[in-house]
Amino acid sequence: MKPIIRLLCAALLCAPALAQARLDVFACEPEWQALVQELAGARARVVSATTALQDPHRIEARPSLIAQLRRADLLVCTGAGLEAGWLPLLLRESANPAVQPGRPGYVEAAGFVTLRDVPERVDRAHGDVHAEGNPHLHTDPRNIARVAAGLAERLAAVDPANAADYGARHADFARRWQAAIARWEREAAVLRDQPVVFQHKSWIYLAEWLVLREAAVLEPLPGVPPSVTHLAAVLDGLRAAPARMIVRAAYEHPRPAAWLAQRAQLPVVVLPYTVGGDPAAGDLFALFDLTIARLRAALPQ
């Protein structure tokens, strides 16, 4: 009987540990990793498939990512075709039924927001266009608030034992986030209606939120590097309608913006784009703190 008693005791001792087991969450991008951490805290172990210094369109489906997705309880990605070049392969090779499309463990942020720039038709001759709309939705913090509400519900669905905790953490995040949005909007009021050159169509949500005017885009088509001929045409246009600054993401090649900046006498603003794009952008709040500060600093004093 003693071995049986020992086994029963061991099982009872392990029960609390099992009850506290953490969710394994696979985030496609750092912004969703950071958001899950806000909503789940220590209840989740979160990995990101990409870093802030990588183009999220173009990621290698490495065996290490397949292994991470294989043990995930929840997958959180942007969707809208952003990961179309690599996520389907990861999903197929992971053979993890919990995180396949249509399952509770599969979450696309794009499903919680209204996407912009939805094309009337998709043609590869138009560059790297997305049939569902522009996927860079996280550059507007109001969209992050919408995703947070839906993600909190999904966390509760895949881990109902801790649903109350996810709800409480979401309520706390939402309160702090709305206060931060109000502060960012006050600080960014001086940016309203300022003409800006963007390197890539990554910023339409940010521009809509802050009411920035798109003076030009350096890429002739989405995802197509600009030629010197195209940059010269942009420069000619700026002579007639000047801009205040050139904005590029930290992961984008610096050469096109530098070429135009030298000739147009404009400052280049390098924005982190997502969490980790700069050492000072260590979480979602710091991401927008730094974004607003850098845009403001580029205005003529």
Where are the chain's structural domains?
A: 20-183, 190-297
**pLDDT single digits (tens) 176-214:** 999 999 999 999 999 999 999 999 999 999 999 999 999
pLDDT above 90 (res 124):
no
Give the side-chain half-sphere CA count within 13 A for 175: 6
Return the CATH fold of 190-297. Rossmann fold (3.40.50)
Provide the pLDDT for residue 17: 37
| Distance set, CA 153 to CA 9, 34, 41, 60, 87 (Å) | 36, 17, 15, 31, 23
**In terms of DSSP H, where are the helices of 112-193?**
141-158, 163-187
Provide the pLDDT for residue 5: 40
**pLDDT single digits (tens) 22-35:** 899 999 999 999 99
Length of the chain: 301
Residue 90 near residue 65, CB atoms below 8 Å: yes
pLDDT above 70 (res 240):
yes
Domains 20-183 and 190-297 share a fold: yes
Torsion of CA 38, 42, 44, 47, to 10 degrees: 70
- CATH code: domain 20-183 is 3.40.50.1980
Beta strands in 89-244 (DSSP E): 106-108, 195-198, 213-217
pLDDT above 60 (res 68):
yes
